[in-house]
């Protein structure tokens, strides 16, 4: 085969690959955007709207992954992998807030690595919800989310060391989660003490009021 024909064939293949890559980058950005919007809506308590964003992101994700089946370097590359992580985070967070359960990687529709890294980002969202609950005086709601944070950290921490070597960035994310747990635990302790003090003062005030009426 003449060299010119070989190079022509190679050129056509690479151009097609580049077209696919550009399309993947565009779709990955849309998946990221929709996933982030779902997280924001979940924080606002607009779970149905968050679900709709997630459904759009999921449909686009599945379609794009199918298109990349013959291009593993694009399917598992930086942009698409990051989109899968963000989608996994949004999916797990919404299920925890709306249904109180952890979805499986198969339900989410991403590979195990993206699932683990997305799961490791969820405690950051849970901490924010915990602080919001504390500000609203909802100590039980705050404690429920803190327990979920603990469950995620405890589960990830028990993974085999080989898993951490296979999933780049997971160890660092676990360190961040541990720090968030320390901060959130401290916040809960302070708020718990404050609420107990307020209840004690109210009880004391009632007794004092009754005593004043009796002696008055």
* Residue recorded with tokens 């992101």: 57
Give the SS3 label for residue 116.
Answer: helix
> What is the assigned CATH class of domain 111-216?
mainly alpha
The ranges of the chain annotated as CATH 1.20.58.2140 are: 1-110, 111-216
Element (H, E) at 58: helix 47-67
Q: How many CB atoms lie within 10 A of CB 95?
A: 19
Mean pLDDT of the chain: 87
pTM of the model: 0.84
Fold of 1-110: Methane Monooxygenase Hydroxylase; Chain G, domain 1 (1.20.58)
- The predicted structure's pLDDT at residue 204: 47
Residue 196 pLDDT greater than 60, yes or no: no
Give the residue with greater pLDDT, 27 vs 216.
27
In angstroms, rounded to a whole number, what is the distance separating the alpha carbons of residues 20 and 27? 11
**179: confidence class by pLDDT, cuts 50, 70, 90:** very high
Report whether 73 contacts 92 (CB < 8 A).
Answer: no
pLDDT at position 197 is: 47
pLDDT tens for each residue of 119-164: 999 999 999 999 999 888 888 999 999 999 999 999 999 999 999 9
- What does the alpha-carbon distance between residue 98 and residue 208 come to, in Å, rounded to a whole number? 44
Helices and strands, counts by H and E, the chain: 9, 0
Q: How far apart are CA 172 and CA 120, in angstroms?
A: 10
Residue 192: pLDDT over 90: no
Q: Are 163 and 113 in contact (CB under 8 A)?
A: no
* CA nearest neighbour of 161 among 175, 171, 172: 171
- pLDDT, tens digit, for every residue of 53-93? 999 999 999 999 888 887 777 777 788 899 999 999 999 99
Output Rg (C-alpha) for the chain, integer angstroms: 25
């Amino acid at each position: 085969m003449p060299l010119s024909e070989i190079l022509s064939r190679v050129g056509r293949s690479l151009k097609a690959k580049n077209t696919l890559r550009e399309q993947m980058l565009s779709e990955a950005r849309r998946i990221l955007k929709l996933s982030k919007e779902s997280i924001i809506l979940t924080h606002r308590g607009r779970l149905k709207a968050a679900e709709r964003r997630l459904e759009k992101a999921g449909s686009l994700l599945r379609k794009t992954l199918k298109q990349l089946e013959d291009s593993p370097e694009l399917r598992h590359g930086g942009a698409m992998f990051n989109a899968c992580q963000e989608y996994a985070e949004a999916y797990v967070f919404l299920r925890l807030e709306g249904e109180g359960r952890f979805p499986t990687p198969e339900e989410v529709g991403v590979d195990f690595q993206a699932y683990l890294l997305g799961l490791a980002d969820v405690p950051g969202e849970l901490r924010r919800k915990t602080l919001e609950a504390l500000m609203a005086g909802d100590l039980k709601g705050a404690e429920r989310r803190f327990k979920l944070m603990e469950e995620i950290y405890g589960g990830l921490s028990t993974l085999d060391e080989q898993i951490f070597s296979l999933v780049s960035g997971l160890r660092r994310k676990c360190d961040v989660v541990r720090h968030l747990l320390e901060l959130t635990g401290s916040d809960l302790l302070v708020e718990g003490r404050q609420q107990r003090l307020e209840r004690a003062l109210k009880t004391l005030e009632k007794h004092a009021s009754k005593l004043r009426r009796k002696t008055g």
